[in-house]
Amino acid sequence: MLTEEEVLKALESVQDPHLKKPLLEIDAVKEVKIKEKLVSLKLAIAQPGTAEQMQLQQEVVTAIKGAGADSVGLRFEKLSDEELEKHGAGTQEDEEGKSLLDNKNTTFIAVTSGKGGVGKSTVSVNLATSLARQGKKVGIIDADIYGFSVPDMMGIEERPKVVGQRIYPVTRFDVQVISMGFFVEDNSPIIWRGPMLGKMLNNFFNEVEWDELDYLVLDLPPGTGDVALDIHSMLPHSKEIVVTTPHATAAFVAARAGAMALKTEHEILGVVENMAYFESKLTNEKEYVFGTGGGDKLAEELQTEILSRIPLGQPEIDKENFAPSVYDQNHPIGKIYTEMAEKIIKKTEE
């Protein structure tokens, strides 16, 4: 079994990214718990909740696993003012970068739903790639913090580069991508509380080095919880797409998400009815597996239109360009997403 001394020794060369001093020198390790090969640490650093912290946590996990741990849990807090002053915090000027929130040329499109399991992330990913195919400069933020899936859906294996205090998004299918999933080791669950999550989302807008974007698609968490509310307050002029299935219950709960958008003065672009039907390849007959009418009822309640009805289906898997949830533009469902993207461009650029 690992000892505390072995854990600390593994951290000897790891530095606080802001103070540029070893963690052990600034007494950053506040707590070490070891249970067989599971190691939990509490670290105090100069600037928690930043791009630098995400880079640091990767270094810490790598170092401790190199010493023999199977799993590493991390909690961060801020060093005391006395410690910060002692170690010279504030003597280096922070690298300034532009905030995407200040860019008036970017149209923000939040994709939301009342409940999980309706295909919201699939819609987000394929909308983003379809907009890019129309020649638009597009980014996507996987803001579904607890259920991040965009990197896997798009077949992304690399991670963003972190240079100084700036994060450079990964580009895939001409879409710039940022996700909490990039900063989590071994698909570990996220246990942060609301305020820290809100801060992380704010970093995605302020500390990511986005290129000039025409559209930023946000894959929101389902429902009307703290994270969704934080994003609504951050983006006072966002457009919104509400995803539902034809089932009456899904449409009923989706109405709550739409109502929150209206209360925060977001413009609802329309409703996407996902899994609207199944079309047989043999007979071309449509089977309405989840019933009918949910999308129409939701659109009527929110006083908007149906943007698209997307059938049940699966993309054809290209092993050389693997992306398990992205439809090719020539696929029948890919063509439906293209039509939706064209409709959205027309609605937002009128």
Provide mean pLDDT across the span 225-241: 69
The backbone torsions φ and ψ at residue 207, rounded to the nearest 5 degrees and listed phi first, read -115, 5
Q: How many CB atoms lie within 10 A of CB 213?
A: 20
Provide mean pLDDT across the span 281-291: 89
pLDDT confidence tier of residue 94, bands split at 50, 70 and 90: very low
Provide mean pLDDT across the span 329-338: 95
- Cα 184 from Cα 197, distance rounded (Å): 13
Position 98 pLDDT exceeds 90: no
User: Picking from 5-19, 168-182, 239-253, 277-291, which range would have the lowest pLDDT averaged per residue?
Assistant: 239-253
CATH for 100-349? 3.40.50.300
- Cα 58 from Cα 76, distance rounded (Å): 13
What angle, 0 to 180 degrees and rounded to 10, lies between the N-to-C axes of helices 120-133 and 332-349?
A: 70
User: Picking from 37-41, 96-100, 311-315, which range would have the lowest pLDDT averaged per residue?
Assistant: 96-100
pLDDT tens string 248-258: 776 776 776 66
The CATH 3.40.50.300 domain(s) of the chain lie at 100-349
The tokens for 137 are 């400069």
User: Picking from 90-104, 265-279, 296-310, which range would have the lowest pLDDT averaged per residue?
Assistant: 90-104
Provide mean pLDDT across the span 12-39: 90
Domain 4-86 superfamily per CATH:
Fe-S cluster assembly (FSCA) (3.30.300.130)
Which range in 77-86, 107-116, 140-149, 170-179 is most confidently predicted, on average pLDDT? 170-179
User: In the chain, pLDDT over 70 holds for what percent of residues?
Assistant: 85
pLDDT tens string 40-78: 889 999 888 776 777 788 889 889 999 998 888 888 888
Q: Would you state the pLDDT for residue 337? A: 97
Q: Would you state the pLDDT for residue 294? A: 85
Q: Would you state the pLDDT for residue 92? A: 41
Q: Would you state the pLDDT for residue 102? A: 76
User: Picking from 167-176, 271-280, 296-305, which range would have the lowest pLDDT averaged per residue?
Assistant: 296-305
Q: Would you state the pLDDT for residue 303? A: 86
Q: Which residues of 11-39 are buried (b: 16+ CB within 10 A; e: fewer)?
A: beebbbbbbeeebeebebbeebebeeeeb
Position 96 pLDDT exceeds 60: no
Position 325 pLDDT exceeds 90: yes
Provide mean pLDDT across the span 9-22: 90
User: Picking from 139-153, 187-201, 249-263, 285-299, which range would have the lowest pLDDT averaged per residue?
Assistant: 187-201
Q: Would you state the pLDDT for residue 87? A: 80
Provide mean pLDDT across the span 102-112: 87
Provide mean pLDDT across the span 284-309: 89
Q: What residue type is 303 in one-letter code?
A: Q
The mean of the pLDDT values for the chain is 84
Place of tokens 């064209």: 342
- Cα 119 from Cα 223, distance rounded (Å): 14
If you write DSSP's letter for every residue of 102-160 in order, what string do you get? G-TTPEEEEEEESSSSS-HHHHHHHHHHHHHHTT--EEEEE--GGG--HHHHTT--S--
**Is the pLDDT higher at 317 or at 188?**
317
The CATH 3.30.300.130 domain(s) of the chain lie at 4-86
Nearest residue to 328 via CA among 179, 173, 177: 173
